Structure 1
């Protein structure tokens, strides 16, 4: 039996062992003692957290002052189109009006709203993007611990920074999928940004023996900008027998709680969209794995 883990955002400073212990620990607790012989399970854990964080913080290899969204980056700079589209998708999902964003900028700068309207006329300034994050943090506390800022910056880099998308996907492929020619009795569990990585890699595979279960938790696959980057067709990977998607309605990263024909495509997906991960961190992977609706199918697929 084999378990493959692919993590998402906010994992810099960790390593594969730390992630594996946390994820497996959550499953062990959910299953109870004696449910499975762990000595017979091969666990492979991807790790790209430091690569993603470094690439995000040093976009284009330059200083913060000239990087797309560095903390010292001038607000008046024009944001890259792909990055702006991602932030606008999030703004739309949370029904944040343009007026609300303008009010936030005016409040932060201590100026009249009309002044902001005039300065914004030249294009998608970074100050607009930063204001979206501030509005979310103020009005949607369930996002928790500045998750909005972390997700938008790291997802933006992964999707839009030249070469990073392919670099991370290739890295993960080498870590957890090569050189397997047979994925039977294998369960692939992915979280957050890792659901995109896992989906992209599995969709390319053409293996005779299929894996019984592909799990996506707290997934941003329902975001239009993500879909534009990975491109269609949006089908269940042919190498996967079953696709289980879990989400907490309060999870900021899972902007679309369910992956359906309306939000993703015609892929056959079982959605479990009313999980409750608690108020403190609705995006928590250990909380996701503690639910029987998620842990149960994983256990069944391994037997």
Structure 2
């Protein structure tokens, strides 16, 4: 079994090694917190990196996700109080794993400020969804790789080719894609021939339901033929970039997508650190394999 992880935007500040290490660390944290062990002899992890392709075009994104968030300076100073770390890593731990932990008043104020920001941004994104042309103009200005992916065929194919090298004919695959990576994965799976087999497709923080994205996808939406198993879609209620589930009539095919509403970090609701360590996603990735320890715990 191969598990292929496909990243989204704002990765070009990393290189292939650092990207792989970061995602492996987040994933390992989730495994550890769920008392799971990965048997490398049975499962191979692949982390194709395409952030450098954007650099080759001498472009970079003009936006950082944090810059989209209005700053309440006093409350933002409380941010470090809300960050929990493991003894052996600098990665933050999801609240799901923090048993019997009581928040201080300042931590509660910080969390309230972040939730307020998320809701305001979510309302703005919902409004933009009704004006896809305006939405696209913002994408063109701030998210270079998304705009290039839509309009530059050589850029799109370079990304697809980079990721496709991780697939093997006749091998079983699980595809885990995040953010813009879910759009890329959807298109790529439709390009793969029948000699490829995908046992499960897992989308995290996907913008696929947005009208601005739908403009650039062949209609109607359809289930990739190489997908032999289920499609699970995880989206956070705090994530303003993944406001909508994937449901009919837009995603009108059988079997239907399993939408799962989860919670991540209220101050970083869209980032992979909140998704890839989540217990429900950890379970979804590996429930088809025999690599789970006998003392596994279901959340």
TM-score (norm 1): 0.64
Structure possessing the higher relative contact order (Cα contacts under 8 Å, 6 or more residues apart): 2
5+ unaligned residues in a row in structure 2: which ranges?
Answer: 64-121, 291-299
Alpha-carbon separation, structure 2, partners of 1:214 and 1:94: 26
User: Residue by residue, what CA displacement relative to the aligned partner does 1:88-112 show, whole Å, maximum 9, x if unpaired?
Assistant: xx997432699xxxxxxxxxxxxxx
Relative to structure 1, is the Cα distance of residues 96 and 212 closer, same or farther in structure 2, using a 3 angstrom cutoff? closer
Alpha-carbon separation, structure 2, partners of 1:234 and 1:260: 11
Q: Which has the higher helix share?
A: 1
Relative to structure 1, is the Cα distance of residues 70 and 36 closer, same or farther in structure 2, using a 3 angstrom cutoff? closer
Structure 1 segment 144-155 matched on structure 2, within 5 A: 150=142, 152-155=143-146
State the secondary structure of the residue aligned to 2:232: strand
State the secondary structure of the residue aligned to 2:197: coil
Identify the match of residue 167 of structure 1 among 158, 162, 179. Answer: 158
State the secondary structure of the residue aligned to 1:254: coil
5+ unaligned residues in a row in structure 1: which ranges?
Answer: 59-68, 72-89, 99-123, 134-147
Alpha-carbon separation, structure 2, partners of 1:238 and 1:2: 18
Identify the match of residue 253 of structure 2 among 248, 261, 266. Answer: 266
State the secondary structure of the residue aligned to 2:216: helix
TM-score (norm 2): 0.65
Structure 1 segment 67-216 matched on structure 2, within 5 A: 93-95=125-127, 129=137, 150=142, 152-161=143-152, 163-174=154-165, 176-177=166-167, 180-184=168-172, 186-207=173-194, 210-216=197-203
Report the structure number with the largest CA radius of gyration: 1
State the secondary structure of the residue aligned to 1:38: coil
How many residues of Structure 1 are paired with residues of Structure 2 in the alignment? 227
Q: Check whether the contact 2:129–2:212 (CA below 8 A) recurs between aligned residues.
A: no
TM-align CA RMSD = 3.5
Alpha-carbon separation, structure 2, partners of 1:188 and 1:43: 10
Q: Which has the higher strand share?
A: 2
Structure 1 segments of 4 or more deviating over 3 A?
A: 53-56, 90-93, 262-265
State the secondary structure of the residue aligned to 1:216: strand
Q: Check whether the contact 2:205–2:242 (CA below 8 A) recurs between aligned residues.
A: yes
Alpha-carbon separation, structure 2, partners of 1:165 and 1:216: 19
Alpha-carbon separation, structure 1, partners of 2:237 and 2:230: 22
